[in-house]
Structure 1
Amino acid sequence: MRSRVRGGTAAAVLGALLVAGCGDDGYGTASRAGRGADAAAHPVTVTDCKGAEATFRKPPEKIVTSNAAALELLLRLGVGETVIGTGFPPGRGTLPAGLDAQAQQVKVLSKTVIPKEKLLGSGADLYIDTFSAMKMGGGMGDAPTEEEFEAAGIEHIYLKSTACAARRSSPMTDLSAVEDDITALGKVTGTEDQAEKLVRGMRKKVDAVQKAVGSTPERERPTYFFFDYDAGTKQPTALCDKQVGNAVINQAGARNIFADCDGAFKKVGWEDVISRDPEWIQLAVRNRGSEAADEKAFDEARKWLETNPATKGLTAVEKGRFLRIHSERTTIAGVTNADTVEKIAATLHPGKAD
């Protein structure tokens, strides 16, 4: 097992990213004032998907994030000023106002996967990876080796709730892995108090839902299909048992129709969806950045299901049982997973969880 020790020296420079707070949406308002006190807890050690350790003597000062999920968490922790670049940036208007203002000022290193050379030459001292801990393939680019990260002076850690899905030995049925990611990032960045607030806010919402519907027997739980419209309609994408979305659906008192699928995502056939005949369907479209554009996309997804010969006879389609929820709020690790649990539960179990 490898063990590495990293330390920062210069004080972080506060620039244009400093927007007061992150907005309070039930998770607590981020405050940079408490970072110094939390940073006194260093050194801290975190592990990767294989259990290898990385030790930080001081909070990192120049962070690059692989995508919007890691970036949003850092903004919510109140350390947006340390982020010097990101891949897969959030679209304008896709985050709450306070967060969006900060996110739009972060340098975009790539609209998709950050090229290897650009990442290694970014000047970062930490790269937070949301993707698979295995070699990225299938068009995802050539990931640097751990030796190359080390040579460039970049520590490499993962959001394990998503990156380590393939290594999980059991299905993801609750949000503890997401909470663990937030806690770990709080320790690394010296924002443990804010991380605790975020986790506490999530638990408050999910615990309330669990109290209302958690004891519902499996056979009485409505069946649920996550329809990833933006992933393509020719061949549907199944949301499988080791994906965060499976935990969201389970915690909301529903049954993911593809909970028996091992892994994170898998291409299936429409005959597979038809044979499982879901009672509810989530119209999962990606956030377009405006309410009008979002509604247009949701409408298109619904119309496709209602007019396609293979799907128009599904129970959920015939009864108009649709939920309009952005796909990111379900499948990307973050505090809004708890909000999705609330929304699904309130829709599927009216009178109990609303």
Structure 2
Amino acid sequence: MRSRVWWGTTAVVLGLLVAGCGQDGGGDKDAAGGSAAKSGSGGYPVTVTDCRGAKTTFSGAPKNIVTSNASSLELLLRLGAGDKVIGTGFPPGKGTLPAALDAQAQKVRVLGRAVIPKEKLLGSGADLYIDTFASMGGMGGGMGDAPTEAEYKAAGIKHIYLKSTACASTRTSPVTDLAAVEDDITSLGAVTGTSARAGELVAGMKEQVNAVEAAVGQTPESKRPTYFFFDYDAGTKQPSVVCNRQVANAVITSAGARNVFADCDGDYQQVGWEDVIAKNPDWIQLGVRNRGSEAANKKAFDQAQKWLESNAATKGLTAVKAGHFLRIGSEQTTIAGVSNADTVVEIAKTLYPGKVD
């Protein structure tokens, strides 16, 4: 089986999160429903909470940020806070980010090709570490030999999490919209002093998703196409599927489709091909991670499609026989980011031709 590590995160993300803050002003509510108190020049202090309610307070914008992966790195770049990033783990491959951001991303120091080694992270000089991996104890383990909260504190590093990915295992209900992603953007904007830009990004996402909802939202559930995210890069021997706590479930649902594995609680689950056959999806997304060039991506999509068309277990599927394939990258579907909204639109355009602009 291929390694289940991609663009900026890993398959199983367990643990805590950073809850989004409200807009500037005193006593705004954060994304977890608590109070995110802000006051003073520039909207500080800012307090964010994790999913257990533990608080982290910022008296000013962090100056030296390390990101655990490329998802949080991209969010900071889009917010205009990329100049504060001094290092990252799981760096994005050249060409995997939008052109305007790619050059900036390639200049960021790589502290680890995968999880950043503990000593390197603690000695990085960071004053903030943004974590997508849920490495706190008591939450089902962590990613590698992660520092303890006491060690972060001793090193002068504040440690926060991305809500939309790090809290999958703690959710008590399915995620069916992009609110958690939007909360992450709002929260990072508040922490880094880029709330205005965060507001613009969130507003843009809402506009896209709302347009899709207006066009196809009245489609009865029973009439919505069924949809399978085929994670080709996770391996073909035993499929790994996205469940109802994963960001992809929100993307698929918002696009007016039905994730055929929305009945499994959690973020990812390994199933058998007999389970996929039993679901018999109307559409299949070829989940391929960005190879860094259009030609390389096309080759990977071709390979994924050919595998489905030639494999005895899958060639009889309704979607395969009808040629109902979507060639949309894994990252923009399964990793939290602004491009999740773009994917909602792209899926909806394909499944509802003529209804979505």
TM-score normalised by length of structure 2: 0.87
Q: Does the aligned pair in 2 maintain the 1:44–1:57 contact within 8 Å? A: yes
- Do structure 1's residue 342 and structure 2's residue 318 form an aligned pair? no
Provide the C-alpha distance between the structure 1 equivalents of 2:72 and 2:303, rounded to a whole number of angstroms: 30
- Select which of 312, 316, 331 maps to 2:315: 312
Q: Does the aligned pair in 2 maintain the 1:39–1:59 contact within 8 Å? A: no
* Alpha-carbon spacing, 1:179–1:259, altered in 2? closer, same or farther (3 Å): same
- Select which of 267, 270, 291 maps to 1:267: 270
Q: Does the aligned pair in 2 maintain the 1:252–1:341 contact within 8 Å? A: yes
Kindly state the Cα deviation for residue 115 of structure 1 after the two structures are TM-superposed: 0.9
Provide the C-alpha distance between the structure 2 equivalents of 1:156 and 1:312, rounded to a whole number of angstroms: 47
- Do structure 1's residue 101 and structure 2's residue 103 form an aligned pair? yes
- Do structure 1's residue 333 and structure 2's residue 314 form an aligned pair? no
Q: Show the counterpart of 2:220.
A: 217
Question: Which one-letter code corresponds to 2:272 in the other structure?
Answer: G
Provide the C-alpha distance between the structure 2 equivalents of 1:199 and 1:174, rounded to a whole number of angstroms: 13
Provide the C-alpha distance between the structure 2 equivalents of 1:311 and 1:82, rounded to a whole number of angstroms: 47
Q: Show the counterpart of 1:56.
A: 58
- Do structure 1's residue 81 and structure 2's residue 73 form an aligned pair? no
Q: Show the counterpart of 1:226.
A: 229
SS at match of 1:316: helix
- Select which of 71, 74, 81 maps to 1:72: 74
Q: Show the counterpart of 1:116.
A: 118
Q: Does the aligned pair in 2 maintain the 1:39–1:190 contact within 8 Å? A: no
Question: Which one-letter code corresponds to 2:317 in the other structure?
Answer: L
Provide the C-alpha distance between the structure 2 equivalents of 1:133 and 1:218, rounded to a whole number of angstroms: 37
SS at match of 1:206: helix
Question: Which one-letter code corresponds to 2:65 in the other structure?
Answer: I
Kindly state the Cα deviation for residue 132 of structure 1 after the two structures are TM-superposed: 2.6
Question: Which one-letter code corresponds to 1:269 in the other structure?
Answer: G
Provide the C-alpha distance between the structure 2 equivalents of 1:309 and 1:39, rounded to a whole number of angstroms: 64
- Do structure 1's residue 208 and structure 2's residue 211 form an aligned pair? yes
Question: Which one-letter code corresponds to 1:61 in the other structure?
Answer: K
SS at match of 1:325: coil
Q: Show the counterpart of 2:37.
A: none
Kindly state the Cα deviation for residue 227 of structure 1 after the two structures are TM-superposed: 0.3
Kindly state the Cα deviation for residue 306 of structure 1 after the two structures are TM-superposed: 0.3
Q: Does the aligned pair in 2 maintain the 1:125–1:155 contact within 8 Å? A: yes
SS at match of 1:109: strand
Give per-residue Cα distances to partners, 1:7-36, cap 9 Å, x unaligned.
xxxxxxxxxxxxxxxxxxxxxxxxxxxxxx
Provide the C-alpha distance between the structure 1 equivalents of 2:142 and 2:289, rounded to a whole number of angstroms: 20
The unaligned stretches of length 5 or more in structure 2 are 1-39
Provide the C-alpha distance between the structure 1 equivalents of 2:308 and 2:128, rounded to a whole number of angstroms: 43
SS at match of 1:40: helix
Provide the C-alpha distance between the structure 2 equivalents of 1:134 and 1:274, rounded to a whole number of angstroms: 38
- Do structure 1's residue 238 and structure 2's residue 241 form an aligned pair? yes
* Alpha-carbon spacing, 1:232–1:39, altered in 2? closer, same or farther (3 Å): farther
Q: Does the aligned pair in 2 maintain the 1:224–1:254 contact within 8 Å? A: yes
The unaligned stretches of length 5 or more in structure 1 are 1-37
Kindly state the Cα deviation for residue 39 of structure 1 after the two structures are TM-superposed: 6.4
Question: Which one-letter code corresponds to 2:174 in the other structure?
Answer: P
Identity of aligned residues (%): 72
Give per-residue Cα distances to partners, 1:229-281, cap 9 Å, x unaligned.
00000000110000000000000000000000100001111000000000000
The count of corresponding residues between Structure 1 and Structure 2 is 317
Kindly state the Cα deviation for residue 293 of structure 1 after the two structures are TM-superposed: 0.2
- Select which of 201, 208, 222 maps to 1:198: 201
Q: Show the counterpart of 2:31.
A: none
Provide the C-alpha distance between the structure 2 equivalents of 1:285 and 1:129, rounded to a whole number of angstroms: 24
Provide the C-alpha distance between the structure 2 equivalents of 1:153 and 1:137, rounded to a whole number of angstroms: 26
TM-score normalised by length of structure 1: 0.88
Give per-residue Cα distances to partners, 1:200-233, cap 9 Å, x unaligned.
0100100000000112111100000000000000
Q: Does the aligned pair in 1 maintain the 2:95–2:292 contact within 8 Å? A: yes
* Alpha-carbon spacing, 1:346–1:54, altered in 2? closer, same or farther (3 Å): same
